[in-house]
Structure 1
Amino acid sequence: MRYFYQAVLFGILFVSLLSCTEKKEKKTSDDGRTLVEVSAIYEAENDRHLFKTETDTIPAGWTTFRFINQSPMVHFLFFDYLPKGKTSEDLLSEISPVFQESSYLLMEGKQDSAQEVFSKLPDWFGKVVFRGGAGFVSPGQTTETTLFMKPGSYVMECYIKTADGTFHWTKGMTRDLHVTSDTTEVQPPQSPSVVVTTTDDGLDIEGEISPGKHLVKVQFNEENPGMIARDVHIAKLGENDNPEDIKSWIDFNNAQGLVSTAEDPAPTTFIGGTHEMPKGNTAYFTVELEPGRYAWISEQPVSKATFKEFTVSSESEY
């Protein structure tokens, strides 16, 4: 009889632990949306850049990604939506090496060869869809980005580079994310204080900027995006930050662009944003602003229309 009660007790404990585990995996935001926490970490002893998360499967629907940069370098969270039948192994073996080769050629000053190498991309690359993600985040910063996640298979990646042009995903910074067909009925974030629209001409920005927490709505509306469409990020400018240095650093086609080291993470402080999505999609992100200089910036091409400075003061209007 004693063993019977022990077995019953063990069963109760097991179910209880299982229940706690399920609750831990199914985090939700204050508004009821699925919440996925992802941390960027760096293992110096192995020279590895990694995403740390407890979640690899979520239901479809509006999802908030809380991205925490615990690394001494700049990072971001970028989503590749894979065509049916393709896996992260296919992406890393057939597509990623082409981009890596191009990066190394850029470092060698071989601009033409760096462009020509893209002819090696497989035909199915054209079916990979870039579906947003948490924007550029400097060391010690945290951001939240909310996206509608369609069912299917995604790869999370970061393509910030080391000093020799090696992308972080080559150093381990990729993770799978599976989105099931079960769709939540939760609505998108409401009442944004700022609305940014991407167009072929640049970034259109509406809203009043003041100190405090802001919900930014980003509407993607480019008719003719290139390989990398416009994304939207916010930089908190220091007193001596040079806009030209920032534009050069964030340019994907620049050999030294997107290079981040522990000694020199970036020429400014990035505090969040969202990556590109196809026309007609919408993303949201939150940002905490205090008095000071800031800039809206798009990864490329960077011009007056995609680098817009603004100042936040106690009585600031955009």
Structure 2
Amino acid sequence: MKTKILLTLTFVLIISCKTDKKEKTNHSVATEKIDNSIEVVTNVMDFVCVDTIKSGWNTFKYINKSNEPHFLMFDDYPDDKTIDTIKSQVMKPFDDGMMYIMKGDMDAAMNAFGALPEWFQDVKFVGGTGLISPGMTANVTIKLEPGFHIMECYVKMENGMFHASMGMAKELYILEEDSGNQPPEADINITISSTEGIVYNKEITKGNHIISVFFKDQIVHENFVGHDVNLVKLSDNANLDELEAWMNWMNPKGLISPAPEGVTFLGGVNNGLTGNIQYFEVNLEPGNYAFIAEVPNSKSKGMFKTFSIIE
């Protein structure tokens, strides 16, 4: 039975290729941009921003004013779903499953996750920012298709409650009308894949950079999510093994706020589909850094790469 449930859960989490989307027009459209970007602000457990934007390339400026680490991820849902449907049919199974994981009952957790609806297989995870620490700002440029999306963050509170269930899940409608924007020109290129891990094309130096991330492939990892790229600044007291374990949400202590001591998350890009490319902008000072994916055993997969920047 456990094996059957695991296979079912893996199936519903496989990223699909559904593209038939309908235009939504009964919401306020983003008409003003700051620094040519769409501003999203988290004050506590929220996303404050417009609820309708044009399709195509858009840059999001995500400002974390809260005391918790967060990320911004875009989920492309079937158009006939609503936020209430998602709360009752998607968030509840995940909340129930996480509750059992926190209690150490993995069999009960798998049963809870098995209650996810069959249509969940149609959800696509199409990008967003990597993790950002309290008080930080992340900039990401992604291409979004028309249709109904959810913005979410599933970092966890100390008791295991997902941030999405505490208010960090917001509707976003992407119109048929294209933004007309073009992607930025990157000076550093990263490729991520399940076979080669994280690979970048040049030495990373101090200063301002626009970094592209190309998803050569995308798979469902042992924690039922795909790979991404998070940029982390490491203090002298950072424990790399602790950081690696913390990046796995299925670990009872994983993605739990606060983040491990000695690490500052500076953004990056969230899950993307095979062939997807996303861009993020950073200003790097001298110090020690890492690129890390939100997957179990990231070191052995080549998805935890450290580097240093000197004067």
TM-score exceeds 0.5? yes
Counting only pairs closer than 5 Å after superposition, residues 33-112 of structure 1 correspond to structure 2 as 35-42=37-44, 49-53=45-49, 55-112=50-107
Give yes or no for the alignment of 1:300 onto 2:295.
Answer: yes
- How far 1:252 moved relative to its partner? 1.5
C-alpha distance in 1, partners of 2:218/2:159? 35
Larger Rg: 1
Q: For residue 15 of structure 1, what is the aligned residue in structure 2?
A: none
- How far 1:141 moved relative to its partner? 0.6
C-alpha distance in 2, partners of 1:88/1:273? 26
Query: Letter of the aligned partner of 1:246 in structure 2?
Result: L
C-alpha distance in 1, partners of 2:60/2:218? 27
Query: Letter of the aligned partner of 1:206 in structure 2?
Result: N
Q: How high is the TM-score relative to the length of structure 1?
A: 0.84
- CA-based RMSD of the aligned residues comes to 1.7
Q: How many residues align?
A: 278
C-alpha distance in 2, partners of 1:306/1:148? 24
| 1:189 alignment partner, one of 184, 193, 206 | 184
C-alpha distance in 1, partners of 2:248/2:58? 29
Give yes or no for the alignment of 1:256 onto 2:288.
Answer: no
Give yes or no for the alignment of 1:122 onto 2:129.
Answer: no
Q: Which moved more, 1:137-146 or 1:84-93?
A: 84-93
- How far 1:127 moved relative to its partner? 0.2
- How far 1:111 moved relative to its partner? 2.2
- How far 1:185 moved relative to its partner? 2.4
| Unmatched runs of 5 consecutive residues or more in structure 1 | 1-21, 43-48
Give yes or no for the alignment of 1:159 onto 2:154.
Answer: yes
Give deviations 1:76-127, integer Å, cap 9, x for gaps. 1111111121122211110111111111111101123323322111010000
- How far 1:52 moved relative to its partner? 1.7
| 1:147 alignment partner, one of 139, 142, 145 | 142
Secondary structure of the residue aligned to 1:124 is helix
Percent of residue pairs bearing the same amino acid type: 36
Query: Letter of the aligned partner of 2:192 in structure 1?
Result: T
C-alpha distance in 2, partners of 1:182/1:215? 26
Relative to its length, the structure with more helix (as a share) is: 1
**Does the 8 Å contact 2:30/2:53 carry over to 1?**
no
**Does the 8 Å contact 1:193/1:208 carry over to 2?**
no
C-alpha distance in 1, partners of 2:273/2:101? 27
**Does the 8 Å contact 2:194/2:217 carry over to 1?**
yes
Counting only pairs closer than 5 Å after superposition, residues 140-289 of structure 1 correspond to structure 2 as 140-190=135-185, 192-201=186-195, 202-222=197-217, 224-226=219-221, 227-260=224-257, 264-267=258-261, 268-289=263-284
Query: Letter of the aligned partner of 1:26 in structure 2?
Result: T
Q: For residue 16 of structure 1, what is the aligned residue in structure 2?
A: none
**Does the 8 Å contact 2:218/2:226 carry over to 1?**
no
- How far 1:292 moved relative to its partner? 0.2
1:205 to 1:301, Cα distance in 2 relative to 1, 3 A:
farther
1:302 to 1:214, Cα distance in 2 relative to 1, 3 A:
farther
**Does the 8 Å contact 1:200/1:225 carry over to 2?**
no
- How far 1:131 moved relative to its partner? 0.9
Q: How high is the TM-score relative to the length of structure 2?
A: 0.85
C-alpha distance in 2, partners of 1:129/1:88? 16
Secondary structure of the residue aligned to 2:46 is strand
1:307 to 1:183, Cα distance in 2 relative to 1, 3 A:
same
Q: Which moved more, 1:134-143 or 1:214-223?
A: 214-223
C-alpha distance in 2, partners of 1:136/1:296? 11
- How far 1:223 moved relative to its partner? 5.3
C-alpha distance in 2, partners of 1:272/1:212? 16
1:199 to 1:26, Cα distance in 2 relative to 1, 3 A:
same
C-alpha distance in 1, partners of 2:56/2:254? 34
C-alpha distance in 2, partners of 1:170/1:28? 28
- How far 1:301 moved relative to its partner? 2.5
Give yes or no for the alignment of 1:27 onto 2:32.
Answer: yes
